[in-house]
Structure formats: structure tokens, C-alpha cells
Chain A
Amino acid sequence: MNWTWFHRFGSPPYFYRVAGKMIPWFAWLAAITAVAGLVGGLGLAPADYQQGEGYRIIFVHVPAAVLSTMAYSVMAVAAGVGLIWRMNVAHAVAASCAAVGAWFTLVALATGSLWGRPMWGTYWAWDPRLTSELVLLFLYLGYMGLRGAIDDTARADRASAVLALVGVINLPIIHYSVDWWNSLHQGHTVLKFGKASMPPSMLVPLLLMMLAFSFYFAAILLVRARGEVLRRERNARWISEAIGA
């Protein structure tokens, strides 16, 4: 296994340059898959036999929820790398995840609630997925709160990295406990979308939208991470060349 790519990405100037080149690619991929997914989801996919047209919220709700958990995992992995190898670029990536993740957690909550109104007759039910998503939002807010409370960037990076790692270990436990709790109080509200029961005409647009959101996340993440790298490398000589000052 060749690890030079890993070390090269750890070098801020290299990361800054390569990230800048990768952003348009991710953005275009996101746009193309999103258009395909939207055409498939809003146009070609048939109405659900139980939920009619209302189920089409799935094409934004599920990708947003996937993005929100993916952002937390990326944040934790980057935080771990930053903590272990003392890699500033990794910390910059971790710092960039939280805000995007928190926004899309909010989107998942809002769209889930909009979906709930026609399906459950209420905007909010203590559905296990919505509840886990809500706890995830609190985890993000805690992470951002800790970062905001520490002035020194290096210390903020390392402290929030510990929190992200603790959080990522807790996340599956929280998911499990919330599922368990919900099963006791007989969730008639649970939305069931088994993978097997979903016809390809619905599944393909859903997967396309999930891909689109992932590419979108990658693009946004790199934009933010470039900014964070600049903030962390303030006095380095490469910066004046990179920004052309």
C-alpha cells in the first residue's frame, strides 16, 4: 500500500491547490445527478400505491438525512486523523463539516415533519428516525458550541476532535436506544420503506439524489476546508502565492 497520497494531502499548499481543482468536478457531478434524480423522482417514478404522490418527499428527505449522518462520520474520521497525526488539514476538514451537517439535519427534520403531516396526521411524531435526527442536531450544536467557546484554534481543534470521536461512538448507541424505546411504545407511525419493496423506478432516482447530495457535500466541504486551511496557515509563505497577493 502506497501512503504518499495521504502525506501529500496533509500538506496545506498541496491540499489547497488540489481541493480548488476538485471543487468544480464535484459541483458538476452533483448538478448532473441532481437533475437526473429530480426528473426521475418527480416525473418518471410512479405514485406510491399507499401514499400516492405524497411519498415524493423521500427524494429530498432521505438524502438530507444521509448527508447529515455522513457529515458527522466524515467529521469524526477527520478529527481522529487530525488528533493522531497532528495534521492541520484534517482538523480543517473536520471544522468544515459541522455547519453543513447541522443545516441538513434541520432540512431532514423539516422535510420529515412535512411528510408526517399527510402520513401521520401531525407535523411531529416521536418517530425513531426523527428523534435520532433531533439528537444528532443537538450533537452538532454541542460541537459547534465547544468550538466557538475556545479562542485558540489549535486547542479548539483538538478538544472538538475528542468530542466528535466520543459522539461518533455514541451515535449508534443513541440510534439503537431510540429504536428500542420506540418499539415499546408501539410506533404505528414508523415509515416503512424496505429496500426490497421499493421498485427500481423509485429506487434509482433515490440513489441518484443520494449521490447528488454526496457530491454536493464534497464540494461544499472542500470550499469550506480551503478557507479553514488559510485560517490555520496564516503566516506561511505559500499563502501569498496561492492567493496571488
Chain B
Amino acid sequence: MMHWLNMGGYWMFVWPSYVLTFLAVVLNVYLARRSLQVAKTEARRRAQAQGSGS
């Protein structure tokens, strides 16, 4: 296990690459979901405003 984590001495470069990519993957999931959520909230607010206005 330690041998694998060491990556032949390249662990300093291999693991940061994977961690960074993983973080970007998670971040983009978060950003995309938040963007959809914001749009939904906005649409809901608008629909209610229209409903009460008419």
C-alpha cells in the first residue's frame, strides 16, 4: 500500500494532479446544481408573483 502511494517517488506530482481534478469535478457539480437551483427559485418566485397579480 505504501509502495503504491509513493508512486515510485512521483507521489508529489501524481496525487496533487488527481486531487485537483477531483476538486474541479466536485466544484463543477456544485456550481451547475446551484445555477439550476437559482434559476428554479427565480422562476418559482416569478410564477407566484404572476399568480397573485392576476
Partners in one complex: yes
- Which residues of chain B from 6 to 54 have a CB within 8 Å of any chain A CB? 7-10, 13-14, 16-18, 20-21, 24-25, 27-29, 31-33, 35-40, 42-44, 46-48, 50-51
Indicate the size class of the contact surface on chain A.
35 or more
Contact-residue size bin, chain B (C-beta under 8 Å from the other chain): 20 to 34
Q: Is there an interface contact between B36 and A227, defined as CB atoms closer than 8 Å?
A: yes
How distant is A80 from chain B, measured CB to nearest CB, in Å? 23
Contacts of A111 in B (CB 8 A): 17, 20-21
Task: Please report whether the interface of chain B is mostly helix, strand, loop or mixed according to DSSP.
Answer: helix
Contacts of A96 in B (CB 8 A): 32
B8 touches A47 (CB 8 A): yes
Main secondary structure of the interface of A (DSSP, over half): helix
Nearest-CB residue, chain A, relative to B29:
A220
| Residues of B that sit less than 8 Å from A by CB | 4, 7-10, 13-14, 16-18, 20-21, 24-25, 27-29, 31-33, 35-40, 42-44, 46-48, 50-51
Q: Please, could you name 13 A-B residue pairs with CB atoms under 8 Å apart, sorted by A?
A: A52-B10, A53-B9, A60-B17, A103-B27, A104-B28, A111-B17, A118-B10, A220-B28, A220-B32, A226-B36, A240-B51, A243-B43, A245-B43
Instruction: Beyond A54-B14, A56-B10, A235-B46, list 20 extra A-B contacts (CB 8 Å).
Output: A52-B10, A53-B8, A56-B14, A60-B17, A64-B21, A104-B28, A106-B24, A111-B20, A115-B13, A223-B35, A226-B39, A227-B35, A227-B38, A227-B40, A228-B39, A234-B46, A239-B43, A240-B43, A243-B43, A243-B47
Which residues of A are in contact with B by a Cβ distance under 8 Å? 42-43, 47, 52-54, 56-57, 60-61, 64, 96, 99-100, 103-104, 106-107, 110-111, 114-115, 117-118, 216, 220, 223-224, 226-228, 230-231, 234-235, 239-240, 243, 245
